[in-house]
Each structure stands twice: as structure tokens, then as C-alpha cells.
Chain A
Amino acid sequence: MTDHASPQSIRTEAIESLLIEKDLLTADAVDAVITTYTERVGPMNGAKLVARAWTDPDFKARLLTDATSVVEEYQFEGGQVEKLIVRECTAFDHHVVVCTLCSCYPWAVLGLPPAWYKDPAYRSRIVSEPRQVLAEMGLNLSESTRINVWDSSAEIRYLVLPKRPKGSEALSESELAEMVTRDAMIGVAQVDLP
């Protein structure tokens, strides 16, 4: 990159200046949209829930029995969750989420869905051969772990509560939240210590 502005950058600036002159737009409104997408929405909302569940047994119990009202209390911006169900991964049970019909996704807690989530191959194969698909995505589960596949719908969205990584006992809730990835909350990855 040189220090000259790219043609796209200049054109973008030209469009913005014209729209502002015509009173069709304000720079503040553009800033607000960008902030919403890059900071306030996104997997951090879900990661906060997971980290708190790992450190607060009462919160975890509530999250597993009535995630919808827990999320309502948080008043996350940028999307609504009709009904949210949280499934907890254990040594014996793994959970993974899909939407076989379209791409229903818990936006409020996970932000924008990844491109592969809508891929027809993922949507069909995660149901018919989940162990194989997870292995291809880099998650190798032992044969003794049961894999449960949850099909999201317009009415019900799922969030996976991943296993807390071994050796993370000394970490604070916010340090834990930093480690929780979107993929782990869909159930196609585990949370590992960095």
C-alpha cells in the first residue's frame, strides 16, 4: 500500500460527502452502524454468557433451564432471540447446531452467521454424518462421546455451552470470555487454552 488513497476510498468519500450534502445521511449514523457490527454485536455476547456460566453455577443453571429470559435481561443489541436454548457439552455429550431449512441463527448472541453455516453441504451432512463433518472441521471427538445435533428454526435458536478448558481455573471471567469462539458456541470447535 502506498500512502495515496485508493480509488475505492476516494469514491466512497465522494459518495458520503454528496449524501451528507443532500441531507440523506449523517456521518454519525454511518459510525453507529459500523460500531454495531464490529463491536457491540458479534460473538462476544455469547462468549460473555459462556464465561459467566463457567464461573457461576447458579447462572449456569438458569441459563440451561431458561436461556431466553437470561438473554432478555442482558438486552443485547442487534437482533432478537425468539426462544433460546443452551445445550451443555460434557465428557459424554457433545452438541452442535445447524439449521437444515435455511440459516436460522442466534444473532443477538453470536453476531452474523459464518458463510459455511448456510452451505447446503454443512446443513445436510452435519445431520447424516456429524462425526465425520466435525473431524473435517478440525474437531475430533472420541467414539464414546455422543453427538447431538440441534436443528434451529425461526422459533427456536440454540447456543452450545462448550466445555471449560482444563487448566483455566485461574482465569477471570473476562479472560475466559476472550477465549470463547463463535465456532465453539455453534459446536464445531472446542475451547482451548491459548
Chain B
Amino acid sequence: MTDQLFVLDGETAPPMANGEIIFEAPWQSRVFGMAQSLSQTGHYQWDEFRAYLIEDIKDWEQQNSAEERGHYPYFDLFLESLTRLLNDKSMVARAEIQSRTSAFAERPHGHDHVHDQGDGHSH
């Protein structure tokens, strides 16, 4: 089965409506897609990722009041779980992610519409 789906329910369930995951921003669907794709191609077991996510959700719950728990930042935690797992699996070091993130953050406005180098790079 190529389009295998992975269980995200109970405490690891993403925000959903009418059976579909609610992505509030494009990055949320990208990070979700990356985590699943890496698992589909055998870079880790889905349960390994899930265990990281459970940990991050538990940590967040301990640090926040019951009131705030109703709208916890699911995909922020998801992003952190993926970062940790990639680091622990020596796939991408956290430091590498940090420096690339800083580099991207410093790009001039409108960077993704200007391609001054013919390097085949595309968004």
C-alpha cells in the first residue's frame, strides 16, 4: 500500500473538522506532510514520531493551565517533535536547522519572487 495512513488519534489527534485535518497555515500542512513522508520511506517508524509528539504534548500540558489546554498549539508541538526526532536520528542536526532558519529569516522581502541565479532552484 503506497498511500498508507498513520494513526493520529486520542492525545495525538490534530485539530479536525468533518473528518479532515484543519491546517491553519501552509507550513502546518508541510510539516505534517514531511513527517508522514519520512515515515513512509522508512526513515523512522510512525510510532517513533508519535511517541515524540506525545511527549511534547504532555510537556506542554504540564506547563499550561487547564483553561489554555483547549486550544493548544498542535502544529507548533508537531514541528518541535519533528525537529527533535531528526536531531536524535542524526538525520538533520538541530544546529543545522537553526542556522538555516536564521539564514532564511534574513532574506529580503519578496525573496521568493526573485531568482538572480539560474540554479534551477524553485519554490
Stretch at the interface among B36-44, B49-57, B61-69: B36-44
Residue ranges of A at the interface with B (Cβ–Cβ < 8 Å): 3-19, 22, 24-26, 29-34, 36-38, 40-43, 77-80, 103, 107, 110-115, 117-118, 181-183
Which chain A residue has the least Cβ–Cβ distance from B41?
A29
- The B contact surface, by secondary structure, is helix
| 20 A-B interface contacts by CB (under 8 A) | A3-B109, A10-B101, A10-B104, A11-B83, A12-B27, A13-B27, A14-B100, A14-B103, A15-B82, A15-B86, A24-B38, A24-B43, A30-B30, A41-B5, A80-B1, A112-B9, A115-B9, A115-B10, A118-B9, A118-B13
Contact B3 A36 (CB under 8 A): yes
Tell yes or no: B118 within 8 A of A by CB.
Answer: no
Q: List the 3 closest A-B pairs by CB distance, nearest first.
A: A30-B33, A14-B100, A111-B19
Q: Are A12 and B30 in contact (CB under 8 A)?
A: yes
Residues on the B chain within 8 Å of A79, using CB:
5
Give how many A-B residue pairs fall within 8 Å (CB-CB).
144
Number of interface residues of B (CB under 8 A): 45
In the complex, are the beta carbons of A43 and B27 less than 8 A apart?
no
> Which residues of A have CB within 8 Å of B41?
24-25, 29
| Residue with the greatest number of chain A CB neighbours at <10 A, chosen from B3, B23, B36, B83 | B3
Inter-chain contacts of B19 with A (CB < 8 A): 42-43, 110-114, 182
Instruction: Please tell me which one of the listed residues B3, B34, B75, B101 contacts residue A77 in the complex, with CB atoms under 8 A apart.
Output: B3
Answer whether residue B16 sits at the interface, using C-beta atoms and an 8 A cutoff. yes
If A19-B92, A43-B18, A113-B9 touch, whether A30 touches B27 (CB-CB below 8 Å) is no
Q: How far is the CB of A5 from chain B (nearest CB, A)?
A: 8
How near does chain A come to B52, taking the closest CB pair, in angstroms?
Answer: 14
Tell me if B26 counts as interface (CB < 8 A to partner A). yes
